Structures are given as C-alpha cells and as structure tokens.
Structure 1
Amino acid sequence: MIKLSRRAILELAGTAILGGGALLLAPRGATGTTGQSPMNFPGDLPNPPVLQSEAGVLSVKLNVNYGEAALPQGPARLRLYDGAMPGACWRVRPGDRIEVELCNRLPPDLEDSETAAAGLPAKVVHANRPNRFNTTNLHFHGMHVDPRGDSDNVFLEIHPGQDFRYNVDIPIDHPPGTFWYHPHRHGSVAIQIASGMAGMIVVDDPSGQSDLVERQMVIQAPIVGEDGTLEDPALFMALENERDFLINGVHAPLIHIHEGETQLWRLLSANDSQFLPLDFGAMAGVEAELVGWDGIPLAEPRPAGQLTLAPGNRADLLVTGRRKGSHWFGRSAFDQGLVRLPEATLGEIVVLDAGSAAVSATSPVYLPASSMQRYRLRPIRDEEITQQRVIELGHIRRPGETLDVNFTINGVPHQHHAFDIVGKLGEAEEWTFINLTPFPHPMHVHVNPFEVIEVNGVPVPDRPWMDTVIVPAAGVVKIRTRYEDFPGDFVMHCHILPHEDAGMMMNMRIVE
C-alpha cells in the first residue's frame, strides 16, 4: 500500500489530479484532457473528460441538446450535456470563478408548441408535476456559493433557444472535495437527470503531492421506453421500473487495481431516484476507507464498511487491492420503502498481480495540508441555536396528478412564491425532520452544509457534515446548520427527484 502521512490522509478528499494525455478542446479560461483510463490501460474504466481552471477561472460553454447513447437495451436518444453522458469533470480551486455559458439547444416545449398552434401566448407553469421537459437551469450541488442573480440561482428558467451566463465565485476557504452540476428547474429536473444530464465538480487544494491513481466515477441510471426515448413521465416516476446502472457512461466496466495498490475513488450517485447501498466490507478483493462525504473531508478516515449513497450523495474513498482476481462491484438488494429493489451490477473490480507492469499511474495527485478548522465546519453548540423547526414530510392523494399523488413538506406541496423558512445570516438553527410516509427521503439543503445530530432519537457520535441526508421511512432525523456568508433565496427538497417534481420542496430565504 502507498504510504501517506496522517495529515495527508485526513484531507485526501480534497486531492487534485493534473491529467496527461490528449488535450480536450476547451474554451479560454480552461485546459482539458479527453476521457481516458487513469492507468493508461486498454479496457479499463475511463475517467470523464476534464476541464481545469486556469489563472483562477474556469470558463465553460455547456450545450444542452439531444444526443445518441448506447444503453444495454439498445440505442437511445436522450437529453445530455454536449451530447455526452456524463458531462466533463470541472476541476477548480478555492478562490476560483466558474463562468458557464449555458446554451439550451433543445426543441420548444410541448406546452408551448400546443399553445402556439392554437394562437395563444405561452404560459408560465409552476406545477407540482412533470412539465416543460426542455426548459432547464443549472445547480452547483453541495457548493457553498451565492444563490443569487447569475450564481447558483435555481429559480432561473432557461427556455429552449435561450443562452444564459452563470458566474460563480468560490470562497477562498471553500472545502476541497467532490461536488456536481446538474439541472434544477422544478418540473423538469427528474426527466433531465434520468436522461443523463450531470457532471462532477472537484474542488482541489494543491498543497501536497502523492502518486495515487484517482478515479472519478459518475454513477447514472438512464431509463428509456421501447422506442429508446425518455418522454413519458411514467417511466421515471415509478420507482420500481428496472434500471441499468452506468459508470461514466459505461455499463459494467472493468476497474483495475494492483494487489497492494491504493487508489482514490470519487463516487457520485447522479441517478434520479434509487439508493445505492454498497457493502465494501463484503467485497473480498478490496478494502476501503472513507475520507470524505458530500464534498467535505472527514476529521478522521474510517473503514467504509456499508455505505448507502442516496441520489446526490458523494463519497471519497481510499480503495486498496487485496486479493488477485475479478470481483463483483455492485449495489446490494434492499427495500426502498414499499419497493423491493434487486441487487444491481455496477462493474467488475480486477485486482492485478502486485508486480504487474501492465498498468502504471502517470498523473500526480495533490494532497492538501490544511485542517478542518480552515473550512469553518466547527460543531454547532447548543447556545448557538436561535431557532428550532419541525419539518414534516408527507404525501397526499391527488387524482389527476402524475401517479395520483403529491409529496408535501409541512402538509403542502411546493408553493413557488412562498418562503416558509426565513433565517438570519450568521445564525444557526436546529431542524427535526419527521417522515410521515412509508418511503425514505434524502433531504438536500442548498448553499450551507449541516451536521447530522440524531437519527430516530439516537445521537450520531461523530456528527457528520452533509448536504443530503436520508430520513428513514416513518423515521426522524435532527440536523443543525449555520447560515454563513450568503443571504438570498434557495431551496430544500427531497433528492428522489420525482418526489421533488411532485411537490416535496420548500423555498428558503436568508436575510441580513
């Protein structure tokens, strides 16, 4: 196993890789590499293409269009970023600016086509059901950045044929780690992510170096009908519909590692609705340590054991090859509420002989030397709490809605113009989520991460920081959060995205 200092391991979730290989065509303000195996080995799982910031700026042109994809069940025509699944990995550093020209090149929405044919003006739609599948926007998931204006503003709507320029300034003390970008327009988010619109963001902190291989693994589960398209909401709204999982757009890839070698794996669950329980303790071929969760380095590494990634979660892992041979890598069977989901293959881990020269790492990995205190994620004390809130998660029968249901927060589905949580900048709050449904809900809060304090009345010893926490079916979860740096409007919602589109979202406003 590669030897690392304790200080380096504690912050490994913020590592960076400077890729070699052929240059990817990139706009001014970025350098790029094509998607390739990080071990330069034919048949090995490639990383996504990489765009790296230059001189403090990452400048990206991001086209939303239909693209052709090869799925296990056959060819498909899907909504994608630049015709690829997933999108390129964006690599930035604290203090950088991300400039994105989002170009919506999808055809007009069906609703607009119908009203135009009838000679009527287009209508603004704020419905708690799938709608306007070709209207989009952009969210910087998990990042602690400004939610206002042209930054991480999920209230924007970029219609077909429109362009919009996002400018996102990353704080100089932003945690290093794994984040992601994806659409977030209420009503079309589920269909667009189920189609494959997603990409990883890595925030680097290059203050130390090692020679670990790094894998960026974007896990997606696109779903299509018999005609190879995704236009029918029933396909993605029904949780039990069968999915084929892809890693970096590849079905059941081979993932190579030497016996005794340690790699850094960045896992992103970018599917729209299904949980990914991973049992590293039962994978005889490898051992794994968790060093970061939801983009935040852990204070101490710990054995990975059993991890459950909800849609939206990220895990940074040190994975070490232990036994030569081929080993199954996949999701265990589990109950996601009332739905029994089978085990699912993600890939195959191939552990090579320790002395094999068939593969070799060629890209340096940078390890930050800073501490958790630098990122201000200090525990939230009892005396800091200025507000305690109870947030009930429910659902109501609504004949005529998709699947005849709306999902609710505090008894009501999402209200576009209402701000039910108003907090004050600089203050801290404690929330208690009470799940009144038979389904688990991964609750995601924008802008500010939170500490998980209790699950079903049992204190969580290490109080982990997250941005997406699973509230068990008929369960209770208590969290604490601080409103730091940024006033403005943003949202909190279930990251089972069909639940969000069906109403399980609430607006928040932070005032100075």
Structure 2
Amino acid sequence: MASRPVHGSASRVLEQTLDVRFTDVSVPGHGPVTTRTYNGTIPGPTLRVRAGHTLRLTHVNGLPPNPPHSGGHNTPHRPNSFNLHTHGLHVSPSGHADNVLREFAPRTPEESAAGAAEPRYTSTVHVPCDHPAGTYWYHPHLHGSTAEQVVGGMAGVIVVEGDVDDVPEIRAAADLVVCINELKVGDGHVPAFTSGSWMTGVPSTFTVNGSVNPTLRLRPGEVQRWRLVAATAFAALRLTVTGEAGDMALHQIAQDGITFPTPVARTTVDLAMGNRADVLVRGGAPGRYELRADGLPGPLMTIEVAGAPVRPPMRLPASLPPGRPFLDEQDITDPDADREVVFHADAGVFTGAFPNAFRILGTHATPAADPGGDPTRDPAHGLFDPACTNHTLRLGTVERWTVRTDESLAAFNHPFHLHTDQVLLTHRNGVRLDPPVWHDTLGLAGGTPGDSVTFLVRYEDFTGRTIAHCHQLHHEDLGMMQTVHYVAP
C-alpha cells in the first residue's frame, strides 16, 4: 500500500473559545428559540485548519446545574454536561484531544448558589501532517445528552484545507459551507428528552446555516463548491436540486472529508446523519431551484440562478488529488478475524419511559446479565457498558467488518460510525463498489432485509479508548454503542 502524502505546513495553533449556554436565538424563517448554543449561534463557528496545525479550544460551560437522575446510564441524563467530538478527524481519541469519555460538567447547585466562576475546560487536537484535506464537523458526545444537545443546534463545521483546494478549477469556485441542522423545537425551546417517544412527539425544523430555507444566488456558468454537512441527529437526507429547468447536477468531489480521484456527477446525494459531501454545482438555465430532501415537505434552500452569465462558463476539474489510497482484501491481516455488527431493537421490553432496547449484536456484543434468560428482555445484552471493551484493535492491522441492520422498516436508519479511523466501503448489500469509497459514517436503512455494508479499515497512529455506535443519536443515548480500544502492535 502506498503511503499517504504529507500536506502539512509549519506548525500553527488555532485558538478558539466555544462558549456554551442557553441563548435566545432568532432563527430566520422560524422565529425565536431558546436553546444551548456554541457562541450564541446555530451552527457554531466554522474552524479552519491545515494538516500539521493544532486546534486549541477553550470550552466554557455556562449552563445551569444538571438535574437529579435516578435512571441507568443508558437513559438520558446530564443534559447540561457535554464534551467535544471532532467527527471524522483522524486524531488522538485520548487525553484532552478527541476524547468523548471526558465530561465538561456545569457548576453544581452549591457552586452556582455561591456565585462560583463558570467552569472552563480545554481541548488540544493535533491534526497530523498527512491528514486529508476536507470537510468535517464537531458536536458534543457525552453519553446520555448527545441527542438533546445536537437537536438544539450544538454543532459546527471543521474545514481542513490542503491540496484539493489548490486545484485551479476549485480555487476559482466560491467555497460555501452548507450546514444542515435538525432542530427539535416546541413552544420556542428544545423539550427535555424524557421519554422514548420524545423524538416523534416534536416535529423537526431544518435550517441551513441557521436559517429556514435561505436563498443562495448563482450566476449562469458560475461554479460553486458546496460543503454539505448533515448535522442531523435523526433524519437521513437524500438530496436533490430541482427547478423550473429540471434537476441541477451535483458533481461530488469528496465523501466524509476524503477527496475522490475524479468528480462524480449525480442527481442525488445521500447523507446519513453525520455524513458530509463536497459537491461542485454550475449554474445553468436562469430560474429558481430548490435543494430538497426526500420526505421533507419544504425546501432546505432556494437557489436563484440569475445575473450576467459567466463567459466562458467556469470549468470543472477532470481529476483530483485523491484523499487516501485504497485498501485491498490482500491487506487483511487475519482473514479469520472478521468482525460483525448487527443493529437490533427489541420493542416494549422494559418498564418506564424508555421501553425499547436498542442493541448492537454480532461477534463482540456486550454479554447478557443473565446468559440463561430471555435475551430480548435482558438489561445488558448488546447495550453499551462503559466497563466492557467490545473491540480491541491493534495498530498496523487491517480488518474486514460487516455491519447490518435487522430493522424491517425502510424509514428507520441506523448509521454506523467508528471513531478515529476512516473505513473503506467495499460492498453494499453484497454488491461490490467499483471504486470503493472512504467514509466515517455509513447509513443503513431498514427493510426486508435491511441494509448491510462491508468495509476494510487499517488502525493507524493513535492508541486509546473510544467508541463505535449508531449515529441516530436517540439510539446512541439509549445504549446502541460499543467501546473500542486501539492498542499498540
């Protein structure tokens, strides 16, 4: 396998404060919302770095004390604690880096009553010198509070700049972040996650860069680069751009931060929760177009193609500097050590407000509390246990995973997300992809049968404990998560 090219520049530090507190936000097209935010905005600030740079972040927790919690760790709790996940970045999962096992707690009731200073925490994330240039994002990831915070708008975009940005046709195009947030807002605020039906009881409001259906302008013949970010917790997005003159082609140049060898022209782009896609769009016939997602009643964004045409029309690149070399089945270290992950839900098996069990089964499932009992009602079987290491992954090895869902309803999606290392999707539903595609999150829709994917992954560079989980964040908070431990050779 070829080594990754080194793109980084001299060491540089980007310092940023991320201040989290309840904020009164005016959402254009929707109205006022009181919610937890980064720095008072939805989404939070976009962070731009290059390979070899360091993100040095100061987190201020200005939220009120956490309410008491009497349930288990796989029910929602600590809604005013958070941490930081730099989703998709290949960086250390340990220490004060991309460590989702940390907790940035608010003041206790006693500290708040005494007027103690708001707590401050730091993250230092070193971006490797050979890190692929592309689009990533950040969001809180404390187990038990992730869904409520993300659907309140706590998310932001990370851009790693590099070689693909220097392609002449891309350098000439406007570089636009298109961050799609899914908000759960009722009566002007995000209701507390207090029951299993919480997700369906509040309709989703979708914003693009903080507005409902904003308008973007594009001249005929002009090319723009859109960094599409699905900062959603519950909704998968099948995106199209359609208008009076027909569909607009989306020339995809990257998936989940990894650049393709050549642009791929599409009429639809599928983004599961957490996915990103970089696309080039060129204005055609003048008129009104809409960025739409299947199943949503209204447009996400309006595009007006108008103005003086660009002559000659801006060009699209014929080739790109690929973000990562491919793996091959011959690279697999131990063909007998394949891993299997199965997303499985048992409905109505528990008492209380959260009756459904969201499990990860397969070759390394969390053991049952009662091995001789009914596994569908077991309180531990396949559920996240912070004391259980489900996968021990040795650096330098290449393994093959198969992940599937036995969910029967096509509308239900269980995206699989492995922290720290990108994965190479080689098969979907048993069909080989040619070429394969790098991802960090893989959507798995239900059906009869539900979707299955096979991927290859090389464990590289970083040791430490982190997680793999369903990126339908309601399910993750309720236990659809596993611990992985990257260890030295």
TM-score (norm 2): 0.83
For residue 325 of structure 2, the aligned residue among 371, 377, 384 is 377
For residue 469 of structure 1, the aligned residue among 434, 442, 446 is 442
Cα 1:54–1:226, aligned 2, differ >3 Å: closer, same or farther?
farther
Structure 2 match to 1:31: none
Aligned-residue offset at 1:232:
4.2
What SS class does the counterpart of residue 43 from structure 2 fall into? Answer: coil
Number of positions where the alignment pairs a residue of Structure 1 with one of Structure 2: 432
Aligned-residue offset at 1:74:
3.4
Structure 2 match to 1:17: none
**Is the Cα contact below 8 Å between 2:427 and 2:433 reproduced in 1?**
yes
1:273 aligns with 2:219: no
- Report 1:17-32 matches (<5 A): none
Cα 1:248–1:418, aligned 2, differ >3 Å: closer, same or farther?
same
One-letter amino acid of the counterpart of residue 268, structure 1: V
Cα 1:370–1:261, aligned 2, differ >3 Å: closer, same or farther?
closer
Structure 2 match to 1:221: 182
For residue 312 of structure 1, the aligned residue among 267, 274, 280 is 274
For residue 503 of structure 1, the aligned residue among 447, 469, 479 is 479
For residues 285 and 321 of structure 1, the distance between their equivalents in structure 2, rounded to whole angstroms, comes to 11
Moved more, 421-430 or 471-480: 471-480
**Is the Cα contact below 8 Å between 2:48 and 2:159 reproduced in 1?**
yes
Structure 1 match to 2:216: 255
Structure 2 match to 1:133: 79
Cα 1:95–1:454, aligned 2, differ >3 Å: closer, same or farther?
same
Aligned-residue offset at 1:236:
7.9
Residues 380-431 of structure 1: CA deviation (Å, up to 9, x unaligned):
3334242201111111234335441121111511111111101111001111
- Report 1:64-463 matches (<5 A): 64-71=20-27, 72-111=29-68, 127-161=73-107, 162-205=119-162, 207=166, 210-226=171-187, 228-234=189-195, 237-239=198-200, 241-280=202-241, 284=246, 286-333=248-295, 342-355=296-309, 371-372=321-322, 376-386=324-334, 387-396=337-346, 397-400=348-351, 402-410=353-361, 411-438=381-408, 439-463=412-436
**Is the Cα contact below 8 Å between 2:236 and 2:413 reproduced in 1?**
no
Aligned-residue offset at 1:376:
4.7
For residues 250 and 272 of structure 1, the distance between their equivalents in structure 2, rounded to whole angstroms, comes to 18
Cα 1:385–1:471, aligned 2, differ >3 Å: closer, same or farther?
farther
One-letter amino acid of the counterpart of residue 426, structure 2: I
Moved more, 160-169 or 482-491: 160-169
Aligned-residue offset at 1:455:
1.4
Cα 1:466–1:229, aligned 2, differ >3 Å: closer, same or farther?
closer
For residues 233 and 425 of structure 2, the distance between their equivalents in structure 1, rounded to whole angstroms, comes to 23
One-letter amino acid of the counterpart of residue 491, structure 1: I
Cα 1:158–1:391, aligned 2, differ >3 Å: closer, same or farther?
same
Unaligned runs of 5+ in 1: 1-10, 15-52, 113-122, 334-341, 362-366
Unaligned runs of 5+ in 2: 108-118, 362-380
For residues 239 and 289 of structure 1, the distance between their equivalents in structure 2, rounded to whole angstroms, comes to 34
Cα 1:355–1:321, aligned 2, differ >3 Å: closer, same or farther?
closer
For residues 260 and 323 of structure 1, the distance between their equivalents in structure 2, rounded to whole angstroms, comes to 9
Cα 1:400–1:81, aligned 2, differ >3 Å: closer, same or farther?
farther
What SS class does the counterpart of residue 111 from structure 1 fall into? Answer: coil
Aligned-residue offset at 1:55:
6.1
**Is the Cα contact below 8 Å between 1:407 and 1:499 reproduced in 2?**
yes
For residues 400 and 235 of structure 1, the distance between their equivalents in structure 2, rounded to whole angstroms, comes to 11
Aligned-residue offset at 1:233:
3.9
One-letter amino acid of the counterpart of residue 33, structure 2: A
**Is the Cα contact below 8 Å between 1:428 and 1:483 reproduced in 2?**
yes
What SS class does the counterpart of residue 435 from structure 2 fall into? Answer: coil
What SS class does the counterpart of residue 471 from structure 1 fall into? Answer: coil
Compare relative contact order (CA 8 Å, sep 6+) and give the higher one, 1 or 2: 1
Cα 1:392–1:262, aligned 2, differ >3 Å: closer, same or farther?
same
Cα 1:425–1:229, aligned 2, differ >3 Å: closer, same or farther?
closer
For residues 439 and 21 of structure 2, the distance between their equivalents in structure 1, rounded to whole angstroms, comes to 32
For residues 459 and 401 of structure 1, the distance between their equivalents in structure 2, rounded to whole angstroms, comes to 44
Percent identical among aligned pairs is: 31
Cα 1:237–1:445, aligned 2, differ >3 Å: closer, same or farther?
farther
Aligned-residue offset at 1:281:
7.3
What SS class does the counterpart of residue 226 from structure 1 fall into? Answer: coil
Structure 1 match to 2:116: none
Residues 193-232 of structure 1: CA deviation (Å, up to 9, x unaligned):
0000000000001655532111101101211222534324
**Is the Cα contact below 8 Å between 1:66 and 1:80 reproduced in 2?**
yes
One-letter amino acid of the counterpart of residue 176, structure 1: A
**Is the Cα contact below 8 Å between 2:241 and 2:292 reproduced in 1?**
no
Residues 272-331 of structure 1: CA deviation (Å, up to 9, x unaligned):
111111124788263220000100001121112221111100010001111101122211
Moved more, 346-355 or 165-174: 346-355
Cα 1:239–1:484, aligned 2, differ >3 Å: closer, same or farther?
farther
What SS class does the counterpart of residue 443 from structure 2 fall into? Answer: strand
- Report 1:45-64 matches (<5 A): 56-64=12-20
TM-score (norm 1): 0.79
